[in-house]
Chain A
Amino acid sequence: MILLNLYNCLNTYLVLGAFLFATGVYGLVSRRTIIGMLIASELVLAGASMNFMAFNRFIAPDPSVGQIFTLFIMAIAAAEAAIAVSIMISVYRNYKSIDTEDIVDLHG
């Protein structure tokens, strides 16, 4: 039963992190609204954090460093989400839309 022993392997977590990263990149490319792109970017950050935690558990000589780095990623992600939502509200107030194809004043 190799399937029930997956949680002891480094490769499982690497594949999981790559999956989160790839779904996030697809969402960033394909979404039409700012909120959809923000949600996709959170997925990218989750994939990066998962890679840090996996290497921290299996490889790193000191198992505290990866956890501390993941904490910093969480703090930066929270700040980024707050700024992005307030920018979104500001854009919505000016344009009455959050569609990225409507915000073209700097289009040239």
Chain B
Amino acid sequence: MQTTICQTVANPSLFSAESFVGLIFLVTVGLIVSGAIMAIVSKRLVRCITGLAVSFTGVAGVYYFLLSPFLAMMQMLIYVGAVSILIAFGIMMATPEGEDDASTKGNGIVGPLGIAVASLMFAALTILGVNTQWKAFPRPETAIGDMQQMGFMLLTSHSMVFELVSIVLLIAIIGALVLARRGRN
């Protein structure tokens, strides 16, 4: 596993395997950007949730490029498969008839102000990330971050958090059932 911050291939030919991988990466970035924009500016809620699913699919592809196929699979299972479908069911059950638009707030100043705040945050985070001199820590040869090491750490050094997350999920399941049942006749 490489630990350099930004390694450059000397002079890759346009038709080499590396260039093809780079092209696939650009496609996944395009999926993320177009899906996120679709989820934010679309007028109908169904299109918003479709854009969110497309964006999450792109994020799964980027996780694959970050050398973590397990997280890519989990992203597809949990986000694209569960969370998006859950929100889609929420849209179906809790949207008033004929009022399926998710347009922005009525007050005219909110839209431009939101764009200003968001672009300011984007610019600040980008400048901060690009201008900082990141320095890679030395990495032992044995630390490769595969599923076996992750499982070992989940059950030894991170076992407390692991158990707490399971309790949080249990409480969330019971709470969701109680909240959604209340008021039914």
Bound together, the chains give a CA A22 to CA B104 distance in angstroms of 16
Bound together, the chains give a CA A8 to CA B65 distance in angstroms of 9
**Could you say which of A67, A75, A90 contacts B183, with CB atoms under 8 Å apart?**
A90
**Could you say which of B45, B79, B169 contacts A35, with CB atoms under 8 Å apart?**
B45
Q: A18-B122, A79-B168, A81-B87 are in contact. Are A36 and B48 (CB under 8 A)?
A: yes
Interface digits, B47-75 against A, CB 8 Å rule (1 contact, 0 not)? 01100100110010011011110110011
Report whether B125 and A22 are in contact in the complex, using a CB–CB cutoff of 8 Å.
Answer: yes
Bound together, the chains give a CA A30 to CA B49 distance in angstroms of 16
Specify the main secondary structure of chain B where it touches its partner. Answer: helix
B84 to chain A, nearest CB (A): 9
Report whether A67 and B70 are in contact in the complex, using a CB–CB cutoff of 8 Å.
Answer: yes
Q: Which residues of B contact A40 (CB under 8 A)?
A: 39-40
Report whether A42 and B83 are in contact in the complex, using a CB–CB cutoff of 8 Å.
Answer: yes
Instruction: Tell me the count of chain B residues lying within 8 A, CB to CB, of chain A.
Output: 103
Instruction: Tell me the count of chain A residues lying within 8 A, CB to CB, of chain B.
Output: 83
Report whether B136 and A58 are in contact in the complex, using a CB–CB cutoff of 8 Å.
Answer: yes
Which residues in chain B, 1-31, are within 8 Å of chain A measured between CB atoms? 1-9, 12, 14, 18-19, 21-23, 25-26, 29
**Could you say which of A5, A54, A58, A65 contacts B12, with CB atoms under 8 Å apart?**
A5
Chain B: which residue is nearest A27 at the CB level? B40
**Could you say which of A1, A68, A89 contacts B94, with CB atoms under 8 Å apart?**
A89
Is A103 in the interface zone, CB < 8 Å from B? no
A78 to chain B, nearest CB (A): 6
Q: A23-B37, A53-B63, A59-B136 are in contact. Are A29 and B110 (CB under 8 A)?
A: yes
Bound together, the chains give a CA A35 to CA B87 distance in angstroms of 8
Q: A8-B6, A64-B149, A82-B172 are in contact. Are A72 and B161 (CB under 8 A)?
A: yes
Which residues in chain A, 21-60, are within 8 Å of chain B measured between CB atoms? 21-27, 29-33, 35-36, 38-40, 42-43, 46, 49-50, 53-54, 56-60
Report whether A81 and B83 are in contact in the complex, using a CB–CB cutoff of 8 Å.
Answer: yes
Q: Could you list 23 A-B pairs, sorted by A, with CB under 8 Å?
A: A9-B6, A11-B129, A13-B66, A19-B122, A25-B117, A26-B118, A30-B40, A33-B45, A38-B90, A39-B39, A58-B4, A58-B136, A61-B139, A77-B78, A78-B172, A81-B83, A81-B87, A86-B176, A88-B94, A89-B179, A92-B96, A97-B96, A98-B96
Residues of A within 8 A of B (CB): 1-27, 29-33, 35-36, 38-40, 42-43, 46, 49-50, 53-54, 56-65, 67-68, 70-72, 74-83, 85-94, 96-98, 101
